[in-house]
Amino acid sequence: MESFAGKIAVVTGGGTGMGRELVVQLAAAGAHVSMCDLSEDRMSETAALAAAAAPASDVRISTHVCDVSDEAAMLVFRDEVLAAHDSEHVNLLFNNAGLSGGGSIVTDSRESWDRCFEVCFNGVRWGTLAFLDALIASDEGHIVNTSSVNGFWASIGPDRPHTAYSAAKFAVKGFTEALVTDMRVNAPHVGVSVVMPGHIGTSIVQNSMNYGARELTDDERELMTVADQMFHDNAPMSADDAATVILDGVLAGQWRILVGEDAVALDAAVRADPEAAYEGSMHEILFAELTAAREQLVEQLFD
């Protein structure tokens, strides 16, 4: 795919974060975009930004309230998208929606664990199945599934269980890698990419608080709100920059898209010594790799 202009794109989780930035940048490139999310208000904000960025007034932007973990709802979403664009095909599918929860299989509730897995993995599965025929009906198509660094390293620290999210993101990575061969055999004009971001400045903490399985107390909600702000503000890469990396990777035909210096460094560290991946030393190695990468970047900028 050499250009997004005139293409029909679908983005799940388009109300905030990387999903919002994907919608805006796709529209700016001349693509027609449909997004889904659980927040109509957030999607309206995204749609306004996308319309302002679009190079022409005939670029179509549509919003659809949908829970990606519900297969029936995703089929309705698919039908609404095709109707909105008066088309029998789509060209691009970004299975991007996600949230966190269910960190421990021992101490967290079954509901919290299942909710995280169902959104993060089944959302990708149902999205792919819902839009597969429409992608195959296109002259050129691409499926882009968002995994995570937690799709190849199931940890956020030696003392913090992270089981549901990691299991789901490993599943997304494996599913997408298997799709590479499946599409090559059965629909060679449909490309496939798995996206593995590191720490990106998104609203995943806030979304997990709003749409997770567990009702929070007022004190917990207050703490989570602070955590969300810290997660967003302390991220080494913005959602805007992350979306640019993803879209550049799609145009370059990359099936494996690492997003962020931390993702690149962690991938290299895990591959170099997989047996040590869950030892405390891995965190020291990662920190050293990140420090070296940032120093190299500074030298390049001011050389």
280-283 long-range contacts (CB < 8 A, ≥24 apart) are: 280/158, 282/155, 283/157, 283/158
211 a catalytic residue: no
Residues 6+ apart with CB under 8 A from 218: none
CB contact at 8 A, 37 and 11:
no
Distance CA 255, CA 236 (A): 24
Look at phi and psi of residue 194 and say left if phi exceeds 0, alpha if psi is from -120 to 50, else beta: beta
Choose among 9, 71, 87, 20: nearest CA to 238: 20
CB 164 within 8 A of CB 102: yes
SS3 199: coil
Tokens, residue 268: 């290299």
Catalytic, out of 117, 152, 153, 165: 165
How many degrees, rounded to 5, is the angle at CA 47 between CA 46 and CA 51?
120
Q: For the chain, how far is it from start to end, CA to CA, in angstroms?
A: 35
Which residues does the annotation mark as catalytic? Answer: 165
